[in-house]
């Protein structure tokens, strides 16, 4: 009686789904980082660089 050799076929659909999921994660991460960077730029633009001059008064020591 001939012995059957089990063959395991790799599912291309499964691999493609995994690759697509990874690409989606990378894309989402990049988009979130871009949004955070934009928010940082907007918040930094609101900071008055001269505000500290008037906040602390020198006592002339």
Question: Considering the domain boundaries, does residue 57 fall inside one?
Answer: no
Q: Model pTM greater than 0.75?
A: no
pLDDT, position 45: 81
pLDDT for residue 19: 93
Number of domains in the chain: 1
> Does residue 52 sit within a domain?
no
Does 28 fall in a domain?
Answer: yes
- Asked if residue 24 is part of any domain, the answer here is yes
Whether residue 36 lies inside any domain: the answer is yes
- Regions of the chain where pLDDT drops below 70: 1-2, 6-11, 49-61
Range of the structural domain that residue 39 is part of: 13-45
Map residue 17 onto helix, strand or coil.
helix
At residue 31, the pLDDT reads 97
End-to-end CA distance of the chain: 103
CA-to-CA separations, 44 to 12, 40, 48, 54, in angstroms, rounded: 47, 6, 9, 19
């Amino acid at each position: 009686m001939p012995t059957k050799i089990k063959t395991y076929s790799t599912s291309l659909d499964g691999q493609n789904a995994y690759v697509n999921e990874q690409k989606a994660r990378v894309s989402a991460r990049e988009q979130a980082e871009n949004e955070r960077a934009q928010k940082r730029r907007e918040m930094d633009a609101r900071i008055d660089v001269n505000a500290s001059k008037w906040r602390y008064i020198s006592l002339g020591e």
